[in-house]
Amino acid sequence: MNSNQTGAQQSETRKPLLLRIRSWLRYGTSLRSKLVVLVLVITFLVVGALYWFSLGSLRSSITAIYEGRARSIATVISKSIQEKDYILYYSEEFDQDIARLQERYESIVGITVIGMSARGFLVVTSTDPTEIGMLADEDQQTRFELLRNVEVERTELGDTAVLRAYHPIFSGPDLIGVVQMDMSLAEQTAYLSRLTLLFGAASIAGIVILGGLLYFALRTIVTKPVGRIAETVGFVSQRKYDVEVPVPFRRIPGTHLRDEVSQLIDGVNLMTKVIHSHEQELKKLVVLDELTGAYTLDHLEAELDRELNKTRRYKHPTSLLIVDLAELAARNDEERDEALVRTASFLVSNLRNVDVLFRISEHRFASLLPETPPAGAAVAAGRLQTLVPDLTSQIPFTFEPSITHVGWGEEGAPGIAEVIERVLGPLDDLKE
């Protein structure tokens, strides 16, 4: 197997994993979790940008302050040196003055006086005695010759960072020397570290406060209402219509509704009521018999077809009870309707919960008995027949319902069309 095939297989292996991760992120996490992550990202970006901008500005300002301070001290030191008669000539008094200047300014770690000689710039005196008499190197010589104003730079003395200032000394128009002053940055570093800690603590507090406010606002405006909408839609999908999405407070009549979430809530509540109303109407018109509340013949065909398929495929028994009220044909509409309603109630009360009742013609009912063999249907028919007096005693005229049954067991079952034809045919055709 070559490398291209191996790479293709690895790519195919990674692809489902990426799809699973993407699917989990999209569908496996709640809206609240997504909003929490979004709030944290936004808060970190905002507070982080403010942190780095503010801290950077303060660092620049503090650095500028310390550089200005270094220039000022270098100027004072240079002026003090220029006022002496022994300017740029080594003497013990010169060293004493340097020592006193260093004691005066605690942040000064070193002072070096460089004078112009016939050989070039060399160290006249210094707080580091080893440098006295040393000649500046070529780069320093060039730099000192061009020096006209105080220059400040950051440099290292061993492992210590210092701020070094170069102050030129003139005699008339001529440059005769340079004062080099090294100022410790320990105070600046400590100050910046303290500021960094303070800014860090303030940033954490800002993240908590800003993130909390953002999350509270998004939860109030988006997450909570959407969660209620999702819960209500879940109930509606389970055919529970006595629910509605609650609103936080009542809208004053006449207020123009521009809030999209509120519009969605009103729309879901309205659709729930409309769906419920339409379903009730459909049940009345299509599925349920308007007079008796029993299911219609069309519904029997669908249910019976499913049960007959189970009988043919899995050998599950299925049976039907047929209740014929042919004698009602001679009665007027009012008497007939009363008898039909009472018969439907009688049958529902005395059948099992799983035995569904259908009105399959003007004067005929049928009950589907799932998982019931013909022998069981015969028992159920006999039991109902013995209870018929309970029904007829409630009717002001005499009539006798006829109850019969038909069923199919392990031998199989005919097609739905044949069964419906037999159910709708004369009762004699139903007897085994």
Mean pLDDT lowest for which of 162-166, 245-249, 307-311, 421-425?
421-425
Enumerate the β-bridge partners of residue 163.
154, 183
Q: Are residues 326 and 413 in the same domain?
A: yes
Q: Are residues 243 and 171 in the same domain?
A: no
Report the alpha-carbon angle 12-17-20, nearest 5: 130
Q: Can you give the CATH number for the domain in which 400 is found?
A: 3.30.70.270
Q: In whole angstroms, what is the distance from residue 186 CA to residue 66 CA?
A: 11
- Phi, psi for 105 (deg, rounded to 5): -115, 100
- Identify the domain boundary among 187, 222, 254: 187
Q: In whole angstroms, what is the distance from residue 414 CA to residue 421 CA?
A: 11
Q: Are residues 137 and 257 in the same domain?
A: no
In a domain, 233, yes or no: no
Do residues 311 and 408 touch, judged by C-beta distance below 8 A?
A: yes
Token pair, residue 293, equals: 């509340």
Statement: residue 61 has pLDDT above 90? no
Q: In whole angstroms, what is the distance from residue 371 CA to residue 122 CA?
A: 115
Report the alpha-carbon angle 224-227-230, nearest 5: 155
Q: Are residues 257 and 366 in the same domain?
A: no
Q: Are residues 253 and 363 in the same domain?
A: no
Do residues 312 and 304 touch, judged by C-beta distance below 8 A?
A: no
Q: Are residues 294 and 418 in the same domain?
A: yes
pLDDT in tens, 176-213: 888 888 888 877 778 778 888 888 888 888 888 888 88
Do residues 164 and 155 touch, judged by C-beta distance below 8 A?
A: yes
Residues spanned by the domain of 261: 239-287
More confident: 312 or 75: 312
- Identify the domain boundary among 162, 187, 212: 187
Total domains present in the chain: 3
Statement: residue 112 has pLDDT above 90? no
Check residue 432 and give its pLDDT.
Answer: 41
Check residue 320 and give its pLDDT.
Answer: 95
Check residue 149 and give its pLDDT.
Answer: 87
Residue reference for tokens 């003055």: 97
Q: Are residues 295 and 281 in the same domain?
A: no
Residue reference for tokens 């936004």: 42
Q: Are residues 292 and 394 in the same domain?
A: yes
In a domain, 422, yes or no: yes
In a domain, 378, yes or no: yes
Rounded to 10 deg, the angle between the 224-237 and 31-82 helix axes is 160
What is the value of pTM for the model shown?
0.44
Average pLDDT value over all residues in the chain: 81
Statement: residue 56 has pLDDT above 90? no
- Identify the domain boundary among 256, 287, 318: 287
Q: Are residues 94 and 176 in the same domain?
A: yes
Average pLDDT over residues 74-90: 65
More confident: 86 or 154: 154
